[in-house]
Amino acid sequence: MGCLGRVGCLVLLALLAVTAWFTRDRWLALIRDRDDSRVAATAASPWQPVNEESAARGRQAVAALGRPAGPVFANVTAAELAGYAMEQLARRLPSADSIEAAVQGDRLALRATVRVGELGSGLLGPLAGMLGDRERLKLSGTLRVVRPGVGEFDVKDVTLRDFKAPRGMIPRLMTRLTRGQRPEGVSPSALPLTIPRQVGDVRVANGRITLYKANP
């Protein structure tokens, strides 16, 4: 029985090894998803105020990329980069104040207190009656360079006070905030951004934002 038991254990271990091999894609994906979620949870920056000082630092970093002997990339904070987005968003939401920015995983998040009426009562529907005159608006999304001089802040989530907007509402909100012809190639759910032509790419990861110099 001892010999048979050892043989049985070896057979069982062999079967387990074979099963693990043929199902490796499934359990490796689970491990990666767990690790990715752990990284996403920790790779976040605190909320930072967006003001003229942070925007000026962002402009300096971008200007350095435009120099012939300048760096090929620049790391900037959420507030420094958000200065570009908020300068353009503020023209559509002139009442915005208490503006802050943060990096959350692979997304840039912006929040500000705005006058609800500027978003359009018709767009908000019954929700408009549940809100005050001014509320906290949060936008979270990804950044992309569409082509030289044109970028986009592709909004994935919109929260107004404690209410999360349906995904189908985001393109309509972005259309209202754009107030003009949408540049070709910009996603319907994105806020178009005018960016310096020397910025060739932007990456958001590990709690920081990296701007890359465009090829000559």
In tens, the pLDDT along 150-189 reads 999 999 999 988 888 888 889 988 888 877 778 899 999 9
Of the pLDDT bands very low, low, confident and very high (cuts 50, 70, 90), residue 15 is: low
Q: Which residues contact 39 (CB under 8 A, 6 or more apart)?
A: 206
- Predicted TM-score (pTM) of the model is 0.74
Domain hosting 183: range is 48-213
**Residues 10 and 110 placed together within one structural domain of the fold:** no
Report the distance separating Cα 60 and Cα 55, nearest Å: 9
**Residues 37 and 62 placed together within one structural domain of the fold:** no
Residue 129's CB: how many other CB atoms inside 10 A?
8
**Residues 23 and 105 placed together within one structural domain of the fold:** no
Looking at residue 39, its pLDDT comes to 41
Look at the alpha carbons of 101, 86, 115, 117 in this order and tell me if their dihedral is positive or negative. negative
Looking at residue 206, its pLDDT comes to 80
4 is written with which tokens? 């048979």
**Residues 63 and 18 placed together within one structural domain of the fold:** no
**Residues 75 and 138 placed together within one structural domain of the fold:** yes
Q: Is the pLDDT of residue 207 over 50?
A: yes
Of the pLDDT bands very low, low, confident and very high (cuts 50, 70, 90), residue 36 is: very low
For the chain, the domain total comes to: 2
Looking at residue 41, its pLDDT comes to 42
**Residues 57 and 104 placed together within one structural domain of the fold:** yes
**Residues 158 and 63 placed together within one structural domain of the fold:** yes
pLDDT in tens, 66-112: 998 889 999 999 998 887 777 766 677 778 888 899 999 899 999 99
